[in-house]
């Protein structure tokens, strides 16, 4: 089988061949059909990601494919079933073995490319908003970095979940993208009084923060009592320090969130979420924006698109 393999953190990955893999106990063998690329793949290549596998390893975190075989003592899903699975790695190969409890059957109405593209971006926002922050219909959700990859899914899903969505992004063009995704109110990230703008809308019940820095500090000061702040990432490079006494006085919850971490201690949270998202995709309620679809032979080109930020949506590799 073909594999896109990382053999050194100092060298680029290379397309090579390896013997077909065999599923162990509790595993399934999947013929991979599509694999979504992620910024985390770039970090893995350099050994900088928190879940980087031991060398050598095959890149590719989120895949869609068809079950070919079951390992010993594994109950399903049966061979021939189309599935989506977050494997963490191994997706840029013709075949992959994955824990059976990480797989979710694909509805007929969801194609392989969409299934590979939505898992991490939509999964991050859905588990964060639904499971972690317990977002309720009618609450006010403030999304920082609302036009970014995960930020835009937070806008879209917050709207679907019945929240009033306040999108904060830099510039008119990005704000209009957020509006098209379902944002009710738009605030430019360059506005000198972001706190005041949020307060004028009644304050925030939930803040979704993938940015950090000054935007976090402004949104933090505009929280309602019993508000919840989701710490998703720090794209600004500025990791804010939180005064714990303010959490106490305002009864605010500060919620750290790492979607991939659930696979090590509560994988059902992720698979239940993925089943919901796939059903929404089948119903046409969500549709991931895929900007490039490339064959495995051009996987490096896809990674270069991510590195240069030249892609406007998801990059998916087909096999």
Is-contact 30 83, C-beta < 8 A? yes
Structure confidence at residue 318 as a pLDDT band (50, 70, 90): very high
DSSP calls for 183-223: -SEEEETT-TTHHHHHHHTT-EEEEEESS-HHHHHHHHTTE
Burial of 215 (0-12, 13-18, 19+ CB in 10 A): buried
Model pLDDT for residues 277-292, shown as the tens digit of each residue: 999 999 999 989 898 9
Model pLDDT for residues 2-55, shown as the tens digit of each residue: 999 999 999 999 999 999 999 999 999 999 999 999 988 999 999 999 889 999
Closest alpha carbon to 132 in 279, 257, 277 = 257
Determine the pLDDT at residue 280: 97
Model pLDDT for residues 230-242, shown as the tens digit of each residue: 999 887 788 888 8
Determine the pLDDT at residue 243: 87
Model pLDDT for residues 291-306, shown as the tens digit of each residue: 899 999 999 999 999 8
Is-contact 88 270, C-beta < 8 A? no
CA dihedral of residues 144, 150, 155, 160 (deg, nearest 10): -150
C-alpha–C-alpha distance, residues 81 and 89, integer Å: 21
CA distances from residue 306 to 63, 69, 101, 262 in whole angstroms, order as listed:
18, 33, 30, 25
Residue 81: pLDDT over 80? yes
C-alpha–C-alpha distance, residues 255 and 226, integer Å: 12
Model pLDDT for residues 60-71, shown as the tens digit of each residue: 999 999 999 999
Residue 312: pLDDT over 70? no
Q: Any residues with CB less than 8 A from the CB of 239 and at least 6 apart, and which?
A: 212
């Amino acid at each position: 089988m073909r594999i896109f393999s990382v053999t050194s953190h100092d060298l680029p990955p290379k397309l090579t061949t390896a013997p077909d893999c065999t599923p162990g106990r509790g595993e399934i063998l999947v013929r991979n059909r599509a694999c979504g690329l992620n910024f985390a793949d770039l970090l893995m290549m350099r050994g900088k990601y928190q879940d980087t596998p031991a060398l050598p390893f095959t890149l590719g975190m989120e895949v869609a494919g068809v079950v070919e075989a079951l390992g010993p003592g594994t109950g399903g899903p049966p061979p021939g079933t189309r599935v989506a699975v977050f494997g963490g790695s191994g997706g840029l190969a013709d075949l992959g073995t994955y824990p059976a409890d990480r797989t979710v059957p694909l509805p007929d109405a969801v194609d392989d490319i969409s299934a590979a593209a939505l898992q991490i971006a939509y999964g991050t926002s859905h588990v964060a908003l639904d499971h972690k922050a317990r977002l309720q219909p009618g609450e006010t959700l403030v999304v920082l970095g609302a036009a970014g990859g995960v930020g835009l899914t937070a806008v879209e899903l917050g709207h679907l979940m019945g929240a009033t969505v306040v999108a904060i992004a830099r510039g008119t063009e990005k704000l209009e993208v957020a509006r098209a995704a379902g944002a009710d109110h738009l605030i430019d990230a360059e506005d000198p009084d972001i706190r005041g703008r949020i307060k004028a809308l009644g304050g925030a019940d939930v803040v979704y923060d993938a940015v950090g820095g000054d935007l976090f500090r402004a949104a933090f000061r505009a929280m309602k009592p019993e508000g919840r702040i989701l710490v998703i990432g720090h794209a600004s490079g500025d990791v804010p320090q939180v005064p714990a006494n303010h959490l106490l006085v305002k009864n605010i919850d500060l919620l750290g969130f790492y979607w991939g971490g659930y696979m090590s201690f509560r994988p059902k949270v992720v698979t239940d979420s993925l089943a919901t998202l796939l059903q929404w995709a089948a119903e046409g309620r969500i549709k991931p924006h895929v900007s490039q679809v490339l064959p495995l032979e051009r996987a490096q080109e896809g990674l270069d698109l991510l590195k240069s930020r030249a892609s406007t949506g998801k990059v998916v590799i087909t096999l």
